[in-house]
Amino acid sequence: MQSLFVLFVLSILIFGILKLAPGNIAQIMAGIGAKPEDIANLEEKLGLNQPFPVQYWRFVHGFFTGDLRSAAFNDPLMTVMSRKLVASLELGAVAIILSVLLSIPAGIIAAVKRNTFWDYSVTMFALAGISIPVFWIALLLMIIFGGWLRVLPISGRGADIGGLSILTADGWRHIIIPAVSMALIQMAMNARLTRSSLLEVLQQDYITTARSKGISEFMVVVRHGLRNALIPVVTNIGLMTQVLFAGAILTETVTAWPGVGRLVYQAIIMRDEPLLFGLTIVIAIFYQLTYLAVDLLYAYLDPTIVYD
Amino acid sequence: MTSSRHISEFRTLIVAFLFPWIHLLSQGQRRLGILFLLFEVLSSYVLTHGMLRSTTDALLAPYEGLSILVAVILIDIIGRFLCVISATRARTRSYMESYSRIISRRLSRDPKGILGLLVLGGFVFLVLVAPLISSDPLVMNFGAVLQKPSATYLLGTDMYGRDVFSRIVYGTRYTLGIGVTATVLNILLGATLGLVAGYFRGVIDAILMRILEILNSIPFLMLAILIVAMFGSSTSLLIVVLSVFVLQPARIVRSQVLELREKDYVKAARAIGATPIRIICCHLLPNTVGTLLVVASIRVGQNILSLAGLSFLGMGITPPTPSWGSMLQEGRSVILQCPWLGIFPGMAIFTTVLAFNLVGDSLRDALDPRLKL
């Protein structure tokens, strides 16, 4: 219910921004020197001369029935978006798996070996990771692996099988730079969080009890510590999926990865109102789903949480 | 130990320095307080418009209007120090000693913060002496296009033959100016919203939470690009976007206030008939200042990152004005042949943001190590 409310207000907000912006879209699309009657025709075709509530209804109705067409690509929204969605999900999945696999062990090591060289390196790495602009990492990787070593392609998505490029060797080579640059930043945040959360848990009384029972330190950390320490980490991974899947505008633009982020950028540049509207709703629905998933996982990990 | 007392006094001093008008208001000096608040609003206006006019003339005459800027900053700082002095006068001498002891002990314990402050100091120094150490960042020289870093061109030249070092130095001005101004506005707005929503709860709180939910359901960068692209890029719009559409500070302050408002001293203040404004200004705000400081230093870094991202997408500061993000964008097409165009501006962004994060980290450790932000 709340999610529906959020989606509704958000759609109005985006619609408002699109409509309040100065400039006539029909004029822009028709180009400089277009005849007034051409502009009028285009306005008629795009429904721009109807009142705002009617236009809004047309957008919402068209979005759910699949009739809404992108103004720039002249295709139904789903046709334009579906391939990009797959590409983004693919890139996001690789980046998330990479960052989770590396960040949780790093955070555990930093917490267990507190105030040692390992802890300081992980902490410094994490601090550096949250300070680095994501597109700059991508540029650096391009310079190093594309320019000097000449081992990786610097842009695009490469060959794919059935829309999935991770199924081909060429696709793998293309996915490395964008995935690593996105993963590095998320890794930094996640390692930091794992460390602080595990440190807090390890100071609890039941950990002392577990130790005094004589279980090995490894079991103490993994079985008693980690399960509780991972609760905030899971939340963070949920939020990570949002950034990686839907918000990768910068990474996808700089590496020319044909995903949703790049499509958002293109739609804004071309001022493709129906496409932008559709993208916003799709991304917002995705965000709401991740919030739901995080809540459910939370309840699973922490039995004391009960939702009504 | 009476360390908690010291910390609360330490906080009073921070309030006197950071929010002098609140200090004055809480001391019963209403007129002075309101006067200072007006001055603050005015000076932030002067600062943004004096320092950040994104026209080329302002760049070519970097010291134009500088005297006004210096005057404004001087009056501001003097006013703040007067407030701090009046705040310390009210205390005993032993308190002064413990205050300085706390400061020096914490600083000497944590090299992170010092490192961060030194780096930031270096960048501020660069802003001030920019015209002395660098050449004109806008002048094109087609005889020296895409030169490698050398003695003449410290960090090389770009495709128009402009000196990369000069452009980075002048870029600092815009980056720090917009980053800091947006953060100050953001924190002011966030603190006000958070305090009001947390203290009064009810409808205001519900509205704030709904707004937060809505803003949290699409990527911030997407909204920012959309607004900037639709309404045309300008310095003031960038500052508004970076300060209004990020409401994390409000959320953090709110959750802290929800806890604080149940404390006995707040109940006591309410019982003796203190007005909500007084409770918010004198009892709640001073206790959130530590958090606000940490949030602020982290937000400056985040704002600089967002600004760089926007400029990189061509939505930030408009060329030919030098900004680190747009320098990366311009160099992108030749980045494999001329890596210096990709390395140095990014390095500048990275160093600045890292410095702010270092300061934020050590501030957090000093104020409250258990604070999770």
Taking residues A4-25, report their average pLDDT.
86
The confidence band for B44, taking pLDDT boundaries of 50, 70 and 90, is: low
Average pLDDT of chain B is 79
Chain B, window 197-256: residues with a beta carbon less than 8 angstroms from a chain A beta carbon? 210, 213-214, 216-222, 225-227, 229-232
Identify the pLDDT of residue B65.
52
The confidence band for B368, taking pLDDT boundaries of 50, 70 and 90, is: low
Compute the nearest-CA separation of A159 from chain B (Å).
23
Highest mean pLDDT, choosing among B69-73, B105-109, B202-206: B202-206
Which of the pair, A201 or B49, is modelled with greater confidence? A201
Q: How far apart are the C-alpha atoms of B363 and B299, rounded to whole Å?
A: 14
Identify the pLDDT of residue B88.
65
Identify the pLDDT of residue B305.
94
**Among residues of chain B, what percentage have pLDDT more than 70?**
78
Q: In this model, does residue B193 exceed pLDDT 60?
A: yes
- Residues of chain A with Cβ-Cβ distance to B245 below 8 Å are none
Cβ-based contacts under 8 A for chains A and B: 124
Identify the pLDDT of residue B236.
80
Q: Please answer whether residues B314 and B329 qualify as being in contact, where contact means their C-beta atoms are separated by less than 8 angstroms.
A: yes
For residue range A235-246, what is the model confidence (pLDDT) as tens digits?
888 888 888 777
For residue range A118-151, what is the model confidence (pLDDT) as tens digits?
988 998 899 999 999 999 999 999 999 988 888 8
- Residues of chain B with Cβ-Cβ distance to A22 below 8 Å are 230-232
Q: How far apart are the C-alpha atoms of A138 and A155, rounded to whole Å?
A: 10
Taking residues B28-48, report their average pLDDT.
72
Q: Does any CB of chain A come closer than 8 Å to the CB of residue B133?
A: no
For residue range B223-258, what is the model confidence (pLDDT) as tens digits?
999 999 888 888 888 888 998 998 889 999 999 999
Q: Kindly report whether the peptide bond that precedes residue B320 is cis, defined as omega within 30 degrees of 0.
A: yes
Q: In this complex, do B353 and A5 lie within 8 Å of one another by their Cβ atoms? A: no
Which of the pair, A34 or A141, is modelled with greater confidence? A141
Q: B44: closest CA among B67, B16, B76?
A: B76
Q: In this model, does residue A70 exceed pLDDT 50?
A: yes
So where are chain B's domains? Answer: 1-93, 143-356
CB atoms within 10 A of CB B87: 20
For residue range B6-21, what is the model confidence (pLDDT) as tens digits?
445 666 667 777 777 7
- Residues of chain B with Cβ-Cβ distance to A13 below 8 Å are 214
Q: In this model, does residue B345 exceed pLDDT 90?
A: yes
So where are chain A's domains? Answer: 2-65, 85-301
In the block, which residue shows the tokens 């953001």? B186
Identify the pLDDT of residue A46.
72
Identify the pLDDT of residue B302.
92
Q: In this complex, do B210 and A196 lie within 8 Å of one another by their Cβ atoms? A: no
- Residues of chain A with Cβ-Cβ distance to B217 below 8 Å are 6-7, 10, 284, 287-288
Identify the pLDDT of residue B3.
44
The pair of three-digit structure tokens given for residue B126, joined into one six-digit string: 């660069």
E strand or H helix at B58? helix B56-60
Taking residues A28-54, report their average pLDDT.
76
Q: Domain A85-301 is classified in which CATH homologous superfamily?
A: MetI-like (1.10.3720.10)
- Residues of chain A with Cβ-Cβ distance to B337 below 8 Å are 147
Taking residues B125-146, report their average pLDDT.
76
Which of the pair, A260 or A46, is modelled with greater confidence? A260
Q: In this complex, do A276 and B226 lie within 8 Å of one another by their Cβ atoms? A: yes
Q: Please answer whether residues A177 and A152 qualify as being in contact, where contact means their C-beta atoms are separated by less than 8 angstroms.
A: yes
SS3 (DSSP) at A72: coil
Identify the pLDDT of residue B365.
76
The confidence band for B70, taking pLDDT boundaries of 50, 70 and 90, is: low
Q: In this complex, do B219 and A265 lie within 8 Å of one another by their Cβ atoms? A: no
Q: How far apart are the C-alpha atoms of A92 and A258, rounded to whole Å?
A: 13
Identify the pLDDT of residue A104.
92
Identify the pLDDT of residue A308.
61
- Residues of chain B with Cβ-Cβ distance to A243 below 8 Å are 219
Residue type, B340: W
Q: In this complex, do B312 and A250 lie within 8 Å of one another by their Cβ atoms? A: yes
Q: Does any CB of chain B come closer than 8 Å to the CB of residue A289?
A: no
Which of the pair, A67 or A28, is modelled with greater confidence? A67
Angle formed by the axes of helices B66-89 and B3-18, to 10°? Answer: 150
Give the burial string for B224-237 (b: 16+ CB within 10 Å, else e): bbbbbbbbebebee
Residue type, B153: Y
The CATH number of the structural domain formed by B143-356 is 1.10.3720.10
Chain B, window 300-359: residues with a beta carbon less than 8 angstroms from a chain A beta carbon? 301, 305, 308-309, 312-313, 325, 328, 332, 335-337, 339, 342-343, 346, 349-350, 353-354, 356-358
The confidence band for B58, taking pLDDT boundaries of 50, 70 and 90, is: very low
What are the C-alpha distances in Å from A158 to residues A117, A164, A166, A173, A257?
A: 41, 10, 10, 8, 9
CB contact set of A253 (below 8 Å; sequence gap of 6+): A135, A261, A262, A265, B313
The confidence band for B69, taking pLDDT boundaries of 50, 70 and 90, is: low
The confidence band for B67, taking pLDDT boundaries of 50, 70 and 90, is: low
Q: In this model, does residue B63 exceed pLDDT 50?
A: no
Identify the pLDDT of residue B95.
47
Residue type, A276: L
Q: What is the ipTM of this complex?
A: 0.89
Q: In this model, does residue B108 exceed pLDDT 80?
A: no
Q: Which residues pair with A164 in a beta bridge?
A: A161
Q: DSSP secondary-structure letter at B334?
A: G
Q: In this model, does residue A26 exceed pLDDT 50?
A: yes
Q: In this complex, do A127 and B361 lie within 8 Å of one another by their Cβ atoms? A: yes
Q: Does any CB of chain B come closer than 8 Å to the CB of residue A141?
A: no
The confidence band for B4, taking pLDDT boundaries of 50, 70 and 90, is: very low
